[in-house]
Amino acid sequence: MLRIPIAMETEITKEAREELARATRRRYQATANREEKSRMLAEFIATTGYHPKSALRVLNQSDARDEVHRRKRPRLYDEAAREALIVLWEASDRVCGKRLEPLLRTLLPAIERHGHLQLEPVIRGKLLAMSAATIDRMLRSAKAPTKKRRPRRSVSAMRHHIPVRTFSDWRDPAPGSMEMDLVAHCGGSMRGSFIHTLVLTDLATGWTECAPLALRESTLIVQTLERLRPRLPFVLRALDTDNGTEFINDALVAYSVEHGIELTRSRPWLKNDQAWIEQKNGAVVRKAVGDHRYEGIAAAQCLARIYTALRFFVNFFQTSFKLSAKTREGASVTRSYHAPATPCERLLAHPTISDATKTRLREVAEMLDPIRLLEEIRTGQNQLAALAEGKPLQPPQTGDPDLARFLATLSTAWRGGEVRPTHAARSEATRYERSIASVIGSQIPKAASPPPPQPLTRVIPNHQMPEPLVTASKTTPDAAGGSLLKIATLDEAQTGTARLCQPPRAFVRRRKRAHAFVTVWPQITRWLEACPNMNAAMILAQLQALYPGRYESNQESSLHRRVRAWREVAVARGVVIGRRMYRVSPTHVWRRTRKDPFETEWPEICRLLDANPDQTAKDLFLALQVKNPDRYAVGQLRTLQRRLKAWRAEAVRKLVFDLQTQPLAGTSDVNVQP
């Protein structure tokens, strides 16, 4: 005997339930087999959530009764009552319905008493009998012209599945619980592309790791974290980040689940939840490299060299305070601290660190020379400051540095004031005046700076060009290095003036109807729970076999988006998803059959990219069209985009995986891992 389940909670919509009932009713009434009917009834109840008695009534009724006939109740409030309500709403200074409903008993008699309004008894009774919800519904059309629509802020669905950890939730954690953040080297403006520094600090010991990122991208962050994790003297157990999309994404969540790392996030707009990492951002990163704007591969290479020496100098030779207790008496707060110690000393004193790790830490401490590390940091800061000022970069020294000369300067360095080349003295001008000066200064070339590379442009007389000429390279970027296009005519080129234009805003499309798979989505989720690595093509093939003529092949992309969203939620709750199941096809090697159209211009393009990596393929393509009007067609832009994407990928790979593996002088055989 087949057991019929009791009603269950489902997420199926009312329209989908009615459509499923119409499709099942015909087969149910046409079937004479009792066991087949019981099976169909059980499946219908499990899908729709109906009670068994309600399911039998729905499946046994005729198709004529399927149409819902609602009784049309006559309107209680006519147009005259609505017009009177609008007058009273305006007289109340447009208060909401919940405030207007009790106010009508006072406002209406006062207006009638002074002779401003005379209503019939029927309309007056209707106004006083209206509820707050009815008032809002009657005033909906009157409020529409003045209603301000606030843009809905998009929040990542992944954020709802990552738990929040506040500053008070850390209960004296063991080494391995770290906070992670990005430091933007933007120079005061977030326009354009610039370098970020990925910073990790341990809450128990203060151990800090830094690494430069040429791009702010989630996959690159995971790869950099994979390179930093083996260098830690402890096991990475927990990781706390902010709410940026570079951290809250499926790549970092999958990496945390794979390696058993507890991933949490702070509360939005509350930096005190990450007080430890915020303190290291200023005391370590900003103190070492300053607040200048750094962009390009050369600046990232200098940062990588600085952080290689700074890692040992900070963790072995820089003491820091650690809070032991905090008491509050009224408005007075008293804090007490442990004795200052280095992160290495705290690791040696912690009971959870193994003896092998402690022995290795002592060996590394004996090998390190603080004067050599400080000299390497100062050398890197000099190179970084030269890049920030536009000066030519000097090649690094190949031999051992002259430490005796550097040691002799330490006794007299205090006479010159600030010794860090990356330090910028704070101006006495206001913030508004400094921003205006930065914009004006960016448009005036410095006398000491080398001339910028000549753009691939050509000036055309005004009578020969129907539209302004658009140059492709950023010859006069704004103060932040933003992506602005320069439009110049002949008169403007002679006077040295040009106008800057911003790219248009992207159009955001919003879905207004339910997707095509809403009726079968419960069945799809059951398939995915049983086999999480199924792809959208396999699911669509099964749906086409079950429902012939209902689904088309062009709906695969829509199904792929739904399946990808399901996998994000599944990974967040701990579901392990293996390698995707795809059809195995023979490997095909594509070979170029025609000549590369950008072969002759590629050396010059690489030179422009080295000088300004923020240029896009469209900018370069427009410049090439201006230089050679009859040589390049519009369809070749995609080819240049692929070439530029490969160039950037190779540049990032060299920065992250080649430079950080090359140690500096004096640290070639130093590793804190036992």
pLDDT digits (tens, 9 = 90+) for 136-152: 999 998 888 877 766 66
Residue-level pLDDT at 415: 74
pLDDT tops 90 at residue 179: yes
What's this model's pTM, rounded to 2 decimal places?
0.50
Q: Rounded distance, CA 129 to CA 84, Å?
A: 13
Burial class (CB within 10 angstroms; exposed 0-12, middle 13-18, buried 19+) of 468: middle
Instruction: Count CA within 13 A, CB hemisphere, residue 260.
Output: 4
pLDDT digits (tens, 9 = 90+) for 318-337: 888 888 888 988 889 999 98
User: Taking a C-beta distance cutoff of 8 angstroms, is the pair 170, 262 a contact?
Assistant: no
* Domain segments of the chain as ranges: 14-65, 79-143, 161-367, 532-572
Residue-level pLDDT at 577: 79
User: Taking a C-beta distance cutoff of 8 angstroms, is the pair 134, 89 a contact?
Assistant: no
Residue-level pLDDT at 64: 59
pLDDT tops 80 at residue 5: no
Q: Rounded mean pLDDT of 208-213?
A: 94
User: Taking a C-beta distance cutoff of 8 angstroms, is the pair 247, 198 a contact?
Assistant: no
Segment (H or E) for 509: none
User: Taking a C-beta distance cutoff of 8 angstroms, is the pair 92, 103 a contact?
Assistant: yes
User: Taking a C-beta distance cutoff of 8 angstroms, is the pair 261, 240 a contact?
Assistant: no
**3-state SS class at 603:** helix
DSSP code string of 391-416 = PPPPPPPSS---HHHHHHHTTTGGGG
Residue-level pLDDT at 314: 92
- List Cβ neighbours of 260 (8 Å cut-off, separation of 6 or more): none
pLDDT tier, 592 (very low <50, low <70, confident <90, very high otherwise): low
pLDDT digits (tens, 9 = 90+) for 629-673: 888 888 888 888 888 888 887 777 666 555 455 554 445 445 666
Q: Report the share of the chain in percent with pLDDT over 70.
A: 76
pLDDT digits (tens, 9 = 90+) for 275-305: 899 999 999 999 999 999 998 888 898 999 9
Q: Report the share of the chain in percent with pLDDT over 90.
A: 26
pLDDT tier, 456 (very low <50, low <70, confident <90, very high otherwise): very low
Q: Rounded distance, CA 199 to CA 182, Å?
A: 6
Q: How many C-beta neighbours within 10 Å does residue 203 have?
A: 21
Q: What's the token pair of residue 407?
A: 């040691």
Q: Rounded distance, CA 118 to CA 469, Å?
A: 69
Based on DSSP, count helices (H) and strands (E) in the chain, helices before strands.
25, 10
pLDDT digits (tens, 9 = 90+) for 414-446: 777 777 888 865 444 555 455 555 555 544 444
Amino acid sitting at position 377? I
Residue-level pLDDT at 509: 54
pLDDT digits (tens, 9 = 90+) for 353-367: 999 999 999 999 999
Give one word for 267, left, alpha or beta, with left for phi > 0 and alpha for psi -120 to 50.
beta
User: Taking a C-beta distance cutoff of 8 angstroms, is the pair 203, 177 a contact?
Assistant: yes
Q: Rounded distance, CA 22 to CA 84, Å?
A: 47
Q: Rounded distance, CA 43 to CA 32, Å?
A: 17
Among 62-76, 206-220, 549-563, 588-602, whose mean pLDDT is lowest? 62-76
pLDDT tier, 184 (very low <50, low <70, confident <90, very high otherwise): very high
Among 48-52, 259-263, 457-461, 642-646, whose mean pLDDT is lowest? 457-461
Residue-level pLDDT at 455: 41
Q: Rounded mean pLDDT of 156-176?
A: 84
**3-state SS class at 183:** strand
Among 26-30, 340-344, 526-530, 658-662, whose mean pLDDT is lowest? 658-662
Segment (H or E) for 253: helix 250-259
For residue 564, which of 543, 533, 518 has the smallest C-alpha distance? 533
Residue-level pLDDT at 452: 45
Amino acid sitting at position 179? E
Among 79-83, 265-269, 509-513, 557-561, whose mean pLDDT is lowest? 509-513
Choose the CATH number for 161-367 among 3.90.1170.20, 3.30.70.100, 3.40.1410.10, 3.30.420.10: 3.30.420.10
Residue-level pLDDT at 311: 93
